[in-house]
Amino acid sequence: MAETGMLRFHVPEPEVRPGGTPDFSDVTIAKAGSVPRPEIEVDPRDIRDMAFSIIRVLNRAGEAVGPWAGLLSDDELLEGLRHMMTLRSFDARMQMAQRQGKTSFYMQHLGEEAVSCAFRKALASGDMNFPTYRQAGLLIADGYPMVTMMNQIYSNEADPLKGRQLPIMYSSKEHGFFSISGNLATQYIQAVGWAMASAISNDSKIAAAWIGDGSTAESDFHSALVFASTYKAPVVLNVVNNQWAISTFQGIARGGSGTFAARGLGFGIPSLRVDGNDYLAVHAVAKWAAERARKNLGPTLVEYVTYRVGAHSSSDDPSAYRPKAESDAWPLGDPIVRLKNHLIQRGVWSDERHTQAEAEILETVIAAQREAERHGTLHAGGKPSARDMFEGVYAEMPPHLRRQRQQAGV
């Protein structure tokens, strides 16, 4: 019988805290290949259970199995591996550059490389991502120059955004990467609005919204789902569940809903969960969702189940709130190791070639870094002009800004 009397307030708590033994035994993981692949025209009511399972392609033996397998050629997979390795190498160098005082701030993707790298390959040119700060793989996998990213990280004279953005908040219309807003969840309403505009103007381009587990607690997330579902906007709604929102565990934003994907069910949106550390599964699900958007079947919500192995940012110390070895216990493994093992299993890759590729990629990253540093770093060398901060916001500069610019003498 239900207890009566004194009311109790509930605050979800993570299973383990620093000093404890990591335990993910309560994370239910579907067998690779076991989740069916419905037709894109499927009635959302018939696939509600997919919001509670996990689509996986790569099994423990490194084989690609089940109905979501077989979409990518060996060459495409080798390219995908290279993109993820490049992002990891880039991250390591830039994290180090931050520690050396060459930039003020950095955010890594460690453990989450498959999500953005594989997703980019499911989009077409002209489609628009509304990313957060943890999707630089969208740029790397689309061939955006690393040196341009570094110029921005260093806020140097060649910074394409001229020092007006946070170091890692890139922007490239040509590469379908909308300027990142630090205000989380705004990406969702912007993406849905952009997608609606694309449909209103009878264009063929789709949008992709990005959000983290923690940020789904923002009301913008929910408002965006209302518009996306009512107007069947051509948008893919991505939720990256990396288990943490800085020091807050995912159970706070998830509440009692069961999964983040399940949030979409109340809106009648087809909602899928996918193994975010499985390059093949991420790509296959992204492709399915993108196709639905392109065929006017409306939005799809995709939850990528992954783990943030690194710190939240260069300003964060995760040992204060989670066990040090927690990432080793994460049951879905490492995205690079898993794709590497798959390619070895297919006979198109080897440990030797992998080690050699690592060295080559590091050289390319270092060469880009040298080039960027010739244009300056945070406290050395060339800087954007103070005049630049007055430009590029208004089509016509308002009088008060013109006066300020004159006062600054730039």
Ligand X SMILES: Cc1ncc(C[n+]2csc(CCOP(=O)(O)OP(=O)(O)O)c2C)c(N)n1
Candidate residues 212, 276, 310, 335; the one interacting with Mg ion per rule CB under 5 A: 212
Q: Mark the segment that binds Mg ion (CB under 5 A) among 160-168, 192-200, 239-247, 373-381.
A: 239-247
242 scored as a contact of Mg ion (CB under 5 A): yes
Residue 110's alpha-carbon distances to 35, 60, 309, in angstroms, are 27, 21, 5
Q: How far is the CB of 239 from Mg ion (least distance, A)?
A: 9
Q: How far apart are CA 135 and CA 120, in angstroms?
A: 10
Q: How far apart are CA 182 and CA 165, in angstroms?
A: 9
The binder of 303, among Mg ion, ligand X, none, by C-beta within 5 to 8 A per type, is none
Q: How far is the CB of 216 from Mg ion (least distance, A)?
A: 9
Q: How far is the CB of 308 from ligand X (least distance, A)?
A: 6
**Structure token pair of residue 195:** 């997608």
CB 175 within 8 A of CB 128: no
Q: Mark the segment that binds Mg ion (CB under 5 A) among 47-55, 109-117, 245-253, 368-376.
A: 245-253
314 scored as a contact of Mg ion (CB under 5 A): no
User: In this structure, are strands 244-245 and 248-249 parallel, antiparallel, or unpaired?
Assistant: antiparallel
CB 167 within 8 A of CB 153: yes
Give the residue with the Cβ less far from ligand X, 20 or 182. Answer: 182
Residue nearest to ligand X (CB): 212
Q: How far apart are CA 363 and CA 348, in angstroms?
A: 23
Task: Tell which residue, 359, 358, 340, 360, has the closest CA to residue 350.
Answer: 340
134 scored as a contact of ligand X (CB under 6 A): yes
Q: Report the DSSP beta bridge partners of residue 49.
A: none
285 scored as a contact of ligand X (CB under 6 A): no
Q: How far is the CB of 168 from ligand X (least distance, A)?
A: 12
Q: How far apart are CA 339 and CA 35, in angstroms?
A: 20
Q: Report the DSSP beta bridge partners of residue 177.
A: 129, 172
Give the residue with the Cβ less far from ligand X, 134 or 287. Answer: 134
Chain residues in the site for Mg ion (CB under 5 A): 212-213, 242, 245
Chain residues in the site for ligand X (CB under 6 A): 134, 182-184, 212-215, 218, 240, 242, 244-246, 308, 312
